[in-house]
Chain A
Amino acid sequence: MSMMTGNEYRESLRRLKPEVYYLGKKIESVADHPAFIPHVNAAALTYEMALAPEFEELLSATSHLTGEKINRYTHIHHSHDDLVKKVKMMRALGQQTGSCFQRCVGHDGLNSVYSVTYEIDQKMGTDYHKRLVDLLREVQSKDLMISGTMTDVKGDRRLSPSKQKDPDLYVHVVEKREDGIVVSGAKAHITGAVNSHGHLVMPTAAMKAEDADYAVCFYVPVDAPGVIHIFGRQTNDERKCSCFLDQGNVDYGIVGGEALIIFDKAFVPWEHVFMCGEYEFAYELVERFATAHRQNYGGCKVGLADTLIGASYALAQAQGTDRSSHIRDKLVEMVHLTETLYCCSIACSCQGYALPAGSYMADPLLANVTKLNVTRHIYEIARIAQDIAGGILATAPSEMDWKNPKIGKYVDKYMKGIADIPTETRMRLIRLLEAMTCGTALVESMHGAGSPQAQRIMIERRANLERKKRLAEKLAKIGEQPLFVC
């Protein structure tokens, strides 16, 4: 078996017994609980679309290890074409789900750890890369969904990992044994965590010698002993259990379903350890993962924006405003912003390059520009969508009122837009727009793949201001006057 169907993925989740809590209760089956079903559905689409003739060109790839056809989410990029296809795949998935399909994080983790373990081994004489390749073979052959588990809870942000009062505020090695390591700590905001098969855990920041115990990278199955998941609340998440129409995006929900993962003296065998004390490589791993993940945002969020534009246009039609010049202008502005983001992701992919391991990564500067633009443009796109929708976005009666035998007729009568479009159509579009613009989804665009300041730091590091200064000095006849500034 190499590629699962969506239902086989759901069945594979049912065979696992992860420790998951939501609203204070332990969850028996992630695949069957209404709080998680939309997220499972979105992830399942990464399996379904890989098998669909319409999308297989983007969602499948050829394994460089076995030559077999695999899901692209288990593939290591080996060309510019691979990098570009990742972005296009994510746009296609974003369009079909209108939500986060979660699987990119582990994909980016696998690619980052693949290249960095190669370089650790070259310098330190370790065998981490072989271990990672062995895991990758398993991931590809079983078509596993892996979470990319990076962000530590961080405690006092002024202090490095080893200087924290509580040593567990960054994931760290508490014991080294003959057969493996024992780790403690917690990782926050982990997308798709509860419906993944396992977690690829990476350090979250640059490390110094005193932080060596925190420079740790490993893989654990989702149901490994000592691995505990606490699923986060989302805006209007109670609607998943009580409503249908009012959910807006009933099949796929909003964002990815993030969880806090606690490692309470969890054991990791050596074959699943990919960094253990090599602190000088922690930054490189973080930067490669961040680059890969920030590259994505002009793909997935663009797909979401496509659906948002469509919803705004359809709602304008339902309300009779679609021919107004200012509405047309706003729709054009949404498209302009959306395609600008797509340009960024395509550009950073085309400007990507080969690494010593033979794998490819996107251009870090352009990938960071991509994500920084997402923190602005998606908000602006959502703002325009809300502008087009009108105040009804925040005041519409619920589906329970619409279905109420006594007052439902009033809701149907007074919520109607133009005469030949049913009220239900308008209400569904309002709820979809609400789900996509009025809460958790926007925060994800701000902080997912790192907060804006993280992108600014990386942009400054790669800005090459000195060369730009020399270009200006040449034109202004200051100092040396070479024929060209190169």
Chain B
Amino acid sequence: MPKNSHKVKVALKYCGSCNPHVDLTRIARHLTKLAETRGDFQFVPMLEDAIDVVVILCGCPRACGNKPEVRARAGQSLLTAGESINGRHVPEAHLPSTVEQELIKILDS
């Protein structure tokens, strides 16, 4: 795939990280590597137009980043909130790999 053409646009939205229960940057680093490996998606800023997927990274179940206006920025969204992904409990150690699986499901759909 030619670089930057037809790549799925993925944006990361953090909750604000006031007192996270889990290490959100580990998830972000994992996804950055995944983008390099797969080459079919790229990270873009939240202000970009026509975002395809927004990955909402929240440090605790309060999920402050999970707002309608954030979800509305993209066609699809994926929510991590503390030890959970889309409302399903996931232990912290498995968060990066599970977010990867969920993102791939979206990318391949």
Contacts and interface: CB of A to CB of B under 8 A. Distances in A.
B62 A486 contact: no
Interface of A is mostly: loop
Interface residues of A, number: 12
A121 B95 CA distance: 24
A352 B25 contact: no
B56 interface: no
B95 to A, nearest CB: 13
A356 B17 CA distance: 23
B21 A352 contact: no
Interface of B is mostly: loop
Given A356-B87, A482-B25, A486-B25, A467 B62 contact: no
A467 B61 contact: no
Considering residues A351, A363, A462, which has the most beta carbons from chain B within 10 angstroms of its beta carbon?
A: A351
A368 to B, nearest CB: 15
B20 interface: yes
A486 B23 contact: yes
A353 B61 contact: yes
Given A353-B81, A356-B87, A486 B24 contact: yes
A5 B59 CA distance: 45
A324 interface: no
Contact of B20 (A356, A462, A467): A467
B63 interface: yes
Interface string A338-377: 0000000000000111101000000100000000000000
A464 interface: yes
B63 A486 contact: no
B87 A486 contact: no
Interface in B48-74: 59-63
Interface of B: 17, 19-21, 23-25, 59-63, 81, 87-88
19 contacts: A351-B60, A351-B62, A352-B62, A353-B61, A353-B62, A354-B61, A356-B87, A356-B88, A363-B62, A464-B19, A467-B20, A467-B23, A482-B25, A484-B17, A484-B25, A486-B23, A486-B24, A486-B25, A486-B59
